[in-house]
Amino acid sequence: MILSGIGDAIIRRQLKYEIADTSIAMLVGWAINSAIIIVAAATFHHNGIAVSQLQQAEATLRPLLGNAASAIFAIALILSGVSSSITASMAGGSIFAGIFGEPFDIADRHSQTGILITLLGGLCIIFFLGDPFTGLIWSQIVLSIQLPWSIAGMIALTSSKRVMGKYRNSPSDLVILIAIAVVVSALNVFLLLDISGIWRV
C-alpha cells in the first residue's frame, strides 16, 4: 500500500482538507466559467458578432466596466497565465519525480528537471504560435481529448487497494465516479464532433 507508514489521523485530516479545497476550487471555477459564458453570450451572440480574435474578448467587459475593461482584461490574462504556469510546473515536477519514486520537492533535482521541461515545452509552443486565438482553441481541444483519460486514471488510482488501501473508493462511490466520467467523456466527444463539423450539437 502506497499510504503505509502514514498515521490514520494524518490521512483523515489531509483527506478532509483535500475535499474542502477541491470543492471550493471547483465551485469558484464553475462560477467564473459560467459568468464568462453568460457575459460572452450577452455581448457577442445576442448581437450576432462572430469572435475571431482574442482581443475581442475584452469587449465582453465594456458594458460592465467601460474604459477600464482593457486594464481589467489584461490583469485577468496575466493572473490566469501565472496560475496555469504554476499548476503546470508543479504537475510536471510531480510526474517526473514520481518516475523516480520520489515525492514532489522543489529542492530536489528530479522535481526541478520536471518543472524545467514543462516550462520549456510551453515556451517552445508559444514561439510556434502565429495566432494566440487559434492557439487558445487548440489548447481547449487538447484538454478535451486528455480530460477523459485523466479522469479514468484518477478513478483507477483512487479505487486501487494497493494504492489507497482502506481509503479506496467504496462501490457506491465508484458507480457515481464512473457515471460522471461517462457524462464528461460524452460531452467532450460531442464538442469535438461539433468543432470538426462532423456533427452539430
Q: Kindly report, residue by residue over 153-197, the tens digit of the pLDDT.
A: 889 988 988 888 888 888 999 999 999 999 988 888 887 777 777
Q: What residues does each domain of the chain span? A: 1-60, 65-128, 131-201
Highest mean pLDDT among 10-24, 134-148, 177-191: 177-191
Instruction: Tell me how far apart the alpha carbons of residues 154 and 174 are, in angstroms, rounded to a whole number.
Output: 11
Q: Among the listed ranges 14-18, 39-43, 57-61, 152-156, which one has the minimum average pLDDT value? A: 57-61
What digits encode the pLDDT tens for the residues 98-115? 888 888 888 889 999 999
Collect all residues with Cβ–Cβ distance below 8 Å to 48 and sequence separation of at least 6.
Answer: none
- Decide: 64 and 39 in contact? Cβ < 8 Å: yes
pLDDT at 46 over 70: no
Count of residues in the chain = 201
Cell 460531452 belongs to 187
